[in-house]
Amino acid sequence: MPLLRLENITKDYAGDGEPVRALNAVSLDVEAGEFVALMGKSGCGKSTLLNLAGAMDFPTSGRVLLDGEDTSSLGDAGLTRLRREKVGFVFQSFQLLNTLTVLENVALPLLLSGRRDAGAALEKLRLVGLEDYGARYPHQLSGGQMQRAGIARALVHEPRLLLADEPTGNLDTATGEAVLEVLSRVAKERGAAILMATHSLESAAITDRVVRMRDGRIEGIDRH
Amino acid sequence: MIPRLRVFHQLVLRPMLREPARTALTVFAVALGVGVVLAIDLAGTAAAGSFHSSMDALAGDADLEVTATGGVPDRVAGILATLPYDLDVRPRIEDFATVVASGRTVPLIGVDLLKGGLDRKYGSLTVADQFQSHDRKGVVWIAAGMGAKKGDRIALVVGERVGEYTVAGMLDGDAILMDIATASRDLGRGDRIDTILVKTPAQPGAEEWARRLQSALPPGVEVRPQGSRTSENRRMLAAFRWNLRVLSYIALVVGAFLIYNTISVSVVRRRPEIGITRALGASRAGVLLVFLAEAAVFGAAGAVAGIALGRAMAVGSVRLISSTVESLYVSSQPAAIEITGASVLLAFTIALVVTVLAALSPALEASRVSPVEAMSRGQREYVAQVHKGRDLMIAAILGAAAALAWHGPPIEGKPIFGYAAAVLLIGCSAFAIPALVSGLSIVSSRLLRALLGVEALLASRSLAASLRRTSVLVGALSTAIAMMTAVGIMVGSFRETVLIWMDNQLKADLYLRPGGRTSADRHPTLDPGLPAQIAALSGVVAVDPFRAYETSYQGLPATFGSGNISVALRFGRARFLSGRNAEDVLPELRGQDAAIVSEPFANKHRVRRGDRIVLPLGDRKVAFRVADVYYDYANERGYVIVDRATMLKYLPDPAASNVAVYLRPGASANTVRGEIERIAAGRKILILSNSNLKADAIKVFDRTFAITYALEAVAVVVAVMGIAGALLALVIDRRREFGLLRFLGASTAQIRKLILVEAGLLGLLANVAGLALGLVLSLLLVFVINKQSFGWTIQFHWPVAVLAGALTVVYAATVLAGLYPARIATRLNPIEVVHEE
């Protein structure tokens, strides 16, 4: 059983008149430890797919199975539990809270799930090379450092699935490469699957598979 | 014009309509503030203006009024009539009568109908009627709505007796009219009348006529322009109305904080928009105007709603104010509440001035935004600058200024400096709050996280991060709480002082007074023989007949009274400002032209022990030496008390206004009461036990301050509504954060808890700041403002239970104010809000 299975997924959004179909009959399996890139133009359905995979939304039809659990069968509490235990998110615009220190930002998923494990947050900061920056606030970091802090936060609760939406989109090439290197290393070391939406061929080049999307459908899959 | 209207719609109205709930809350907060001010103004005018209509009912077009303490001897009318001038002399008796059927009390005016002492504009009373009525004793003219018509019989309580009268006709004024001879007989006035109104020829003017008539009359009889009593009463009521007005503005001040916050939020949110419009050619003045216009729209909408609210609240307040006026000052007959052009103007003026002034600072800040900076940094990164150090410095300066103002003297009986000190203290607190919020959130965030979890950490950090917004909200709520605390402590202290005073002062077992309506300026009398009859009862050890008269001292009304010094020495425990005992002071009054005066009288007229005061008594003026000043909380008019024998020397009417009855040890109060009722059969007499009298007094006290509590409650409601509105704004501004938290594993319950904890923290900070400020303000109220306004010494007392209850309710309301914003926050779509930018 793959870690993530999307079975014939369709997702419609309410438009002004007719519903807008964001995903159309998408099926995809992602194995544990695998690094998969989603490529395609803006609006092709990459982010929608990530949200469905991350138990943030329900498909209109089809099934999303995360570590064997059908997200459609879960209520709000169930989805929250699934995210807390199994999913980590990395965002294009980092999404760190300015009112918290870097260490507190990283520890936030643990705190939200009622765990207090400062050691785990520090360890993840060390993993991304920010162990000396824990007491700083996000605005005192560079873009690359902020994204590394974002990755540390996504990993702090040891998720099985890491979802990254354009993680290098706001970074220069060198910093972007460094961030991708961290992501790739983590996937391998931790055995976590990574599903990354990206426009960048360079970014996609370091992944195990590239899923090409167009108009809400999977156009093709390339293996490296 | 049209393009400007379009711009107004796009830049001002549309953003307001985008958030209808928050806009409605802000408008309602302004409306409540305006409504309260208007209500107090309307109700104050209706209640305090009513003595004018009572006293001057059917006064007509007289120019002068002739009065004397204890009544004008009726021979004075004869003296006036025989003067070689073309005078129209109209003797009058003025009192109140109660319509038995309805229980309604209205002014009773006795005039000489034969002389045609009425102005023709009053009703259908014709000259023919007047002549006919002369021979018809027991007839009255009444106003419509008194439950009887021409020809009916109507039962009235007049003096201490119930009488049946025939309705001879209807009047336009709200009064009962009867012939002066009938009134004098039924009210037991003897050879004295209450006033004589005089119509003089136009030349050589009222002042000269007053001088000429005065020179022809005995010295104790005063000739003054007609309406002088009304003016005196108005002057006496000025401080009361002024204090009430000031209190009514508190809700508006709290509302001003909230307008400031609303416009600040608007400026922060619309920074990119400001940048774009500035880049497209909008001037600084244009940006300033947009935000001032936004505030003005809130003000105008608040004024419209406030007028309706004010009218409704005035209806509720007028009875309370009226009963306070009556208990403490003067007979009051509430007039109708009328919304006039002036009321509308007042509502719009205060609403627009307060909202536009409150918005000025954030609007100026908006106008100074650099277009490039605004567009590049965006709204999220913009953090309003708060200069804690500078603010603390300003707070210290304001505090020092408040300390100076604290010691300022009253100006025309009004504690202007006291109120200035209060405003300065509120300002001092407002400027100190950012440091308080910042300091407390740093200290408390770890503790809060340990106690309440990660939501508390996020909430406290968020409050500290948006320091300016938080400070304004805490400032608004803490001001309301401070005023509530201060007034609560002041009233609680006052109440406790009055209770202790009553325990010391009221030692008799039974108290008698004529039935019917009472008020501070009315002293109807009992049958003169009654005290002696009661004293003869076997269960009675002593009686103290107290007689009171209305008098005037230095242009202000006062009460001149007398009691039995021997009884007072035996039973009373009056306390004196000098610290002397009653045994040392009271004997000085025996057989002497010496008086003790109440503390409010002494303070109002700056009279001290040993001074001499001159009072017009009967037809002469008498100088009394002030033997001492005694603590008194009965009413605010002020008392001058002399020995009964001294009073009888100048005003020989032996009737008592009320009688204190002391029982023999072991005698049954009920038995004696039954015996007194038998003696007084057929008369309207009220017999109160000691505990009943105290309970009645405390009821009056509580009713007096009910309006004060209501005003504080409205201010708190406004502040809590502001918290709700601000939390709504906060949810909208921080939606990305809430969305992100959902991504990171936060449940909806955690989001809700976060908002409620934030509301709770705001409430906690406001309670801490409000309690501290309230304590200082209460000292100011008790020892400066009250003392200068009313002249009472109040013992400081903490009404712990009341305060704890009130603060708990306010705190709970603040937390509950977070429920709706929390609901909104939990319903946000995290995917949408996180990907908005």
CA atoms within 13 A on the CB side of B281: 0
Please give the Cα distance from B322 to B50 (Å, whole number).
Answer: 9
Residues whose CB falls within 8 Å of the CB of residue B174, separated by 6 or more in sequence, listed in order: B53, B57, B106, B107, B143, B333
What pLDDT is recorded for position B254?
Answer: 81
B811 lies in some domain: yes
Q: Per the CB < 8 Å rule, is B740 touching A97?
A: yes
Closest to A111 (Cβ–Cβ): which among B454, B740, B743?
B454
Q: To which residue do tokens 């001294």 refer?
A: B646
Nearest Cα of chain B lies from the Cα of A13 at a distance, in angstroms, of: 12
Architecture of domain A31-55+72-223: 3-Layer(aba) Sandwich (3.40)
Cα separations in angstroms, A186 against A145, A146, B662:
16, 17, 97
Cβ <8 Å between B743 and A77: no
- The stretch B752-774 carries a mean pLDDT of 91
* pLDDT score at B204: 84
A105/A148 Cα distance (integer angstroms)? 12
pLDDT digits (tens, 9 = 90+) for B508-521: 999 998 876 677 77
**Between residues B834 and A106, which one has the greater pLDDT?**
A106
Residue B382 — pLDDT band, cuts 50, 70, 90? very low
The whole-number average pLDDT for the span B726-746 is 87
Q: Are B834 and A91 within 8 A, CB to CB?
A: yes
Tokens of B261: 């916050």
Nearest CB among B453, B454, B745 relative to A84 is that of B745
The answer to whether the beta carbons of residues A65 and A100 sit under 8 Å apart is no
The stretch B183-191 carries a mean pLDDT of 84
Does B36 fall in a domain?
Answer: yes
Across the strands, what pairs with B630? B576, B598
Looking at every residue in chain B, the average pLDDT score rounds to 84
B744 and A153: CB-CB below 8 Å?
A: yes
- In a shared domain, residues B45 and B34: yes
pLDDT exceeds 80 at position B60: no
Number of domains in chain B: 4
Confidence at residue B380, expressed as pLDDT on a 0 to 100 scale? 42
Residue B628 has pLDDT above 70, yes or no: yes
B727-to-B258, B761, B822 alpha-carbon distances in Å: 12, 12, 8
Q: Are B421 and B773 in contact (CB under 8 A)?
A: no
Dist CA B480 CA B774 (whole Å)? 9
Do B473 and B760 form a contact (C-beta atoms < 8 A)? no
Asked whether residue B396 is domain-assigned, the answer is no
B524 and B641 in a common domain: yes
User: Would the pLDDT of A210 be above 90?
Assistant: yes
H or E stretch covering B658: strand B658-663
pLDDT at A108: 92
CA distance A1 to chain B (A): 25
Crossing angle of helices B416-452 and B748-780, in 10° steps, is: 150
Distance CA B415, CA B237 (A): 14
Q: How far is B377 from chain A (nearest CA, A)?
A: 13
Per-residue pLDDT at B703 exceeds 90 = no
- B273-291 average pLDDT score: 83
Higher pLDDT, B762 or B145: B762
Distance of CA B276 to the CA centre of its chain: 51
**Whole-model pTM?**
0.77
Reported as half-sphere exposure (CB side, CA atoms, 13 A), residue B557 has a value of: 25
Question: Hey, what amino acid is at B608?
Answer: R
Instruction: Tell me how far apart the terminal alpha carbons of chain B are, to the nearest angstrom.
Output: 36
Residue pair B714/B36 in contact by the 8 Å Cβ criterion: yes
Residue B384 predicted with pLDDT over 70: no
For residue A99, the 8-state DSSP code is: T
pLDDT of residue B143: 83
Q: Please compute the mean of the pLDDT values over residues B624-647 and round it to a whole number.
A: 92
| B203 vs B92, higher pLDDT | B92
Q: Between A80 and B705, where is the model more confident?
A: A80
Whether A111 sits inside 8 A of B457 (CB atoms) is: yes
B461 and A100 within 8 Å at the Cβ level: the answer is: yes
Number of Cβ within a 10 Å radius of residue B181: 15
Confidence of residue B74 (pLDDT cuts 50, 70, 90): confident
Helix (H, G, I), strand (E, B) or coil at B588: helix
**Which of A57, A93, A113 is closest, CB to CB, to B837?**
A93
CB atoms within 10 A of CB A203: 24
Interface pTM, i.e. ipTM:
0.91
Is B92 within the bounds of a domain? yes
Return the higher-pLDDT residue of B463 and B746.
Answer: B746
Place of tokens 């003169």: B528
- CA angle, residues B256, B259, B260, in degrees to nearest 5: 85
Of B736, B747, B830, Cβ closest to residue A77: B747
Write out the H or E segment, with its range, that includes residue B312.
helix B284-328
* pLDDT level of residue B378 (50, 70, 90 thresholds): very low
Please list, residue by residue across B657-669, b when 16 or more beta carbons sit within 10 angstroms of its beta carbon and e when fewer do.
Answer: bbbbbbbeeebeb
B319 and B286 both lie in a single domain: yes
Q: Which of A56, A104, A114 sits opposite B830 (nearest CB)?
A: A56
B389 located within any domain: no
| Percentage of chain B modeled with pLDDT above 70 | 91
pLDDT, tens only, B299-335: 999 999 999 999 988 888 887 787 777 777 766 666 7
- CA separation for the pair A54, A163 (Å, rounded): 7
Which residues does chain A have within 8 Å of residue B826's beta carbon, measured at their own beta carbons?
none
Over 80: is that where the pLDDT of B256 sits? yes
Cβ–Cβ of B458/A97 closer than 8 Å? yes
For residue B363, give the nearest of B728, B12, B6 by alpha carbon. Answer: B12
| Pairing outcome for strands B639-643 and B556-563 | parallel
Least confident span in A209-213, B55-59, B429-433, B689-693: B55-59
> How far A77 CA lies from chain B's nearest CA (Å)?
7
Close Cβ partners of A84 (under 8 Å, ≥ 6 residues apart): A109, A112, A113, A157, B745
Highest mean pLDDT among A193-197, B97-101, B631-635: A193-197
Chain B neighbors of A95, CB-CB under 8 A: 736, 740, 743, 834
pLDDT of B296 reads 92
Tell me how far the alpha carbon of residue B657 is from its chain's centroid: 28
**Measured between alpha carbons, how far is residue B765 from residues B138, B372, B803 in Å?**
69, 37, 16
Determine the pLDDT at residue A216: 92
CA angle B98, B100, B104 (to 5 degrees): 45
Chain-chain contact of A112 with B457 (C-beta, under 8 angstroms): no
The more confident residue out of B440 and B531 is B531
Q: Taking CB atoms and an 8 Å limit, are B747 and A47 in contact across chains?
A: no
Please indicate whether residue B188 or residue B569 has the higher confidence score (pLDDT): B569
Which residue type does B37 have? Answer: V
Q: What is the pLDDT of residue B484?
A: 85
Distance CA B792, CA B813 (A): 35
Q: What's the full length of chain B, in residues?
A: 837
Q: Which residues of A touch B (CB under 8 A)?
A: 47, 51, 54, 56-57, 76-77, 80, 83-84, 89, 91, 93, 95, 97-100, 104, 108-109, 111-114, 153, 157
The answer to whether residues B296 and B356 touch, using CB atoms and an 8 Å cutoff, is yes
User: Cα dist. B654→A214, B76, B686 in Å?
Assistant: 110, 22, 19
- pLDDT for B772 equals 92
- For residue A51, the chain B residues in CB contact (below 8 A) are 831
The DSSP secondary structure of B391-442, one letter per residue, reads HHHHHHHHHHHHHHHHTPPPBTTB-HHHHHHHHHHHHHHHHHHHHHHHHHHH
CB-nearest to A47 from B740, B748, B835 is B835
Query: What phi and psi, each to the nearest 5 degrees, are found at residue B410?
Result: -70, 150
Quote the pLDDT of residue B819.
92
Expressed in angstroms, the distance from the first to the final Cα of chain A is 22
* Contact across the interface for A83 and B745, Cβ inside 8 Å: yes
Chain B residue numbers with beta carbons less than 8 Å from the beta carbon of A113 are 745
pLDDT, tens digit, for every residue of B547-586?
999 888 988 889 999 999 999 888 877 889 999 999 999 9
The residues, ordered by sequence, that sit 6+ positions from B709 with a Cβ below 8 Å of its Cβ are: B487, B491
Q: How many CB atoms lie within 10 A of CB B58?
A: 25
Question: Mean pLDDT across the stretch B601-615?
Answer: 92
For residue B399, being part of any structural domain is answered with no
At residue B33, does pLDDT exceed 80?
yes
Q: Are residues B752 and B668 in the same domain?
A: no
| pLDDT band at residue B126 using 50, 70 and 90 as cut-offs | low
Given B632, B661, B683, which residue is the final one in a domain?
B683
Residue B529 carries which DSSP code? Answer: T
User: B379 to chain A: which residues are within 8 Å by CB?
Assistant: none
Identify all chain B residues contacting A84, using CB atoms and an 8 Å cutoff.
745
The overall average pLDDT reported for chain A is: 89
Strands annotated E in B742-809: none
Q: What's the domain range around B824?
A: 452-507+691-837
Confirm whether B445 is domain-assigned.
no
Smallest Cα–Cα separation from B457: which of B469, B473, B471, B441?
B441
Picking from B359, B382, B405, the residue at the C-terminal end of a domain is B382
**In chain A, where are the structural domains located?**
31-55+72-223
Give the mean pLDDT of B698-714: 83
Question: What is the distance in angstroms between the Cα of A224 and the nearest Cα belonging to chain B?
Answer: 30
Q: B827 in helix, strand or coil? A: coil
Question: H/E/C letters for each residue in B87-113?
Answer: CEEEEEEEEEEEECCCCCEEEEEEECH
Residues B529, B678 within the same domain: yes
Distance of CA B479 to the CA centre of its chain: 20
Q: Is residue A165 classed as helix, strand or coil in its secondary structure?
A: strand
Hey, are the CB atoms on A153 and B458 less than 8 Å from each other? Answer: no
Nearest to B179 by CA among B87, B115, B98: B115
Task: Tell me if A56 and B742 make a contact (CB, 8 A cut-off).
Answer: yes
Average pLDDT over residues B353-373: 84
- Distance between CA atoms of B829 and B824, rounded to whole angstroms? 10
Name the residue in chain A with its Cα closest to that of B738.
A97
Instruction: Give B32 or B515, the one with higher predicted confidence.
Output: B32
Cβ B545 vs Cβ B563: under 8 Å: yes
Which of B77-81, B443-447, B590-594 has the least mean pLDDT?
Answer: B443-447
Q: What is the pLDDT of residue A171?
A: 81
DSSP track, B669-709: HHHHHHHHHHHTTTS-EEEEEHHHHHHHHHHHHHHHHHHHH
Exposed/middle/buried for residue B168 (C-beta within 10 Å: 0-12, 13-18, 19+): buried
Residue A2: φ, ψ to 5°: -65, 160
Reported confidence tier of residue B596, pLDDT bands at 50, 70, 90: very high
Q: Look at B745 and A112 and tell me if their CB atoms are within 8 Å.
A: yes
Residues counted in chain A: 224
Work out whether strand B195-199 and strand B88-99 pair parallel, antiparallel, or are unpaired. Answer: antiparallel
Higher pLDDT pick, B124 / B836: B836
DSSP tag of A56: S
Mutation test of the interface with chain A: which of B744, B751, B826, B832, choosing the one with the most A Cβ atoms within 10 A?
A: B744
Q: How far is the C-alpha of B455 from the C-alpha of A152, rounded, in Å?
A: 21
Measured in angstroms, the CA of B19 and the nearest CA of chain A are apart by: 21
Question: Are the beta carbons of A109 and A157 closer than 8 angstroms?
Answer: yes
In a domain, B440, yes or no: no
Between B266 and B478, the higher pLDDT residue: B478
Cβ-based contacts under 8 A for chains A and B:
62
**pLDDT exceeding 90 applies to what percent of chain B?**
26
In chain B, residues with a C-beta closer than 8 Å to the C-beta of A93 are 837
Q: Please tell me the predicted confidence (pLDDT) of residue B512.
A: 92
User: What CA–CA distance (Å, rounded) separates B267 from B185?
Assistant: 75
User: pLDDT tens digits for A38-59?
Assistant: 999 888 999 999 999 998 888 9
